[in-house]
């Protein structure tokens, strides 16, 4: 079997994707050394052919000059690449983050959940919707609605484990992936979230009304497409809505 072709892009990535200051110092040191060696080889070759007696003095002078000039320019270039990489990382983070709540947005949730699918033999998807949210906006105003969305996001995060993924996937809709969780455990956690939201003082509105949520649950195995699991959780959510809201409904397994 032949060796894979050399990928020049890896060298380019090594030079441009400088993630921290330690990597910055390594790049500057390696590139400066390479520049000095290249200058010395060129200088020695020329002197051997033209002025052999000046070989060593010239190499010392060339090494010093090449080192100083290379250090200045390479440091400037690497610092610029470092800043560009940080800006790129921040832009990627923002593109996957819901600006209103600070949690993952729809894109971020789906990408992260897809990446976690192989971490457990089975997981559970939760789809969470704020009940009568349009009524909240109409009665109390959109600022109150925004406060409710932010509060629900915070309370949802209180019930997530380190491996779990959660985000805001719609206007008043949230999703969570409980990695390695079974349906019974997911049901217990979903009920705890629902009760916590209903009882939370910060979610009580001006007239004492409570904010409630409905939750749809579906099992999700790694061999099932994520969208199929999401659709199953969505069907369970609508079943909870039809049954009167402020409750949890389960769709046992998503179809492959």
Residues with catalytic roles: 172
Q: Report the 3 state secondary structure along the chain.
A: CCCCCCCHHHHHHHHHCCCCHHHHHHHHHHHHHHHHHHHHHHHHHHHHHHCHHHHHHHHHHHHHHHHHHHHHHHHHHHHHHHHHHHHHHHHHHHHCECCCCCCECHHHHHHHHHHCHHHCCCEEEEEEEECCHHHHHHHHCHHHHHHHHHHHHHHHHHCCCCCCEEEECCCCEEEEEEECCCHHHHHHHHHHHHHHHHHCHHHCCCCCCCCCEEEEEEEECCCCCHHHHHHHHHHHHHHHHHCCCCCEEEEEECCC
The CA-CA-CA angle for residues 216, 232, 116, to 5°, reads: 90
Report d(CA 14, CA 131) in Å as an integer: 50
Instruction: Report the alpha-carbon distance of residue 128 to residue 101 in Å, rounded.
Output: 15
Cβ proximity of 233 and 219 under 8 Å: no
Determine the Cα–Cα distance for residues 198 and 209; give it in Å rounded to an integer. Answer: 10
């Amino acid at each position: 079997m032949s060796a894979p072709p050399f990928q020049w892009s890896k060298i380019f990535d090594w030079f441009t994707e400088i993630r921290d200051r330690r990597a910055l110092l390594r790049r500057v040191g390696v590139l400066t050394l390479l520049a000095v060696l290249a200058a010395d080889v060129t200088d020695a070759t020329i002197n051997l052919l033209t002025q052999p007696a000046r070989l060593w003095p010239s190499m010392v002078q060339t090494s010093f000059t090449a080192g100083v000039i290379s250090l200045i320019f390479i440091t400037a270039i690497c610092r610029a690449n470092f800043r560009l990489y940080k800006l790129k990382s921040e832009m990627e983070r923002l593109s996957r983050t819901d600006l209103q709540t600070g949690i993952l947005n729809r894109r971020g949730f789906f990408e992260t959940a897809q990446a976690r699918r192989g971490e457990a033999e089975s997981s559970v998807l939760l789809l969470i919707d704020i009940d009568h949210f349009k009524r909240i906006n109409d009665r109390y105003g959109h600022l109150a609605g925004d406060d409710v969305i932010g509060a629900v996001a915070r309370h949802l995060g209180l019930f997530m484990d380190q491996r779990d993924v959660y985000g805001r996937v719609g206007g008043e809709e949230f999703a969570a992936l409980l990695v390695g969780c079974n349906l019974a455990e997911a049901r217990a956690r979903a009920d705890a979230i629902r009760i916590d939201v209903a009882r939370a003082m910060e979610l009580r509105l001006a007239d004492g009304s409570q904010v409630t949520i409905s939750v749809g649950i579906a099992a999700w195995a790694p061999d099932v497409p994520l969208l199929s699991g999401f659709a199953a959780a969505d069907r369970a959510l609508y079943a909870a809505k039809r049954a009167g809201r402020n409750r949890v409904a389960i769709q046992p397994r998503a179809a492959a």
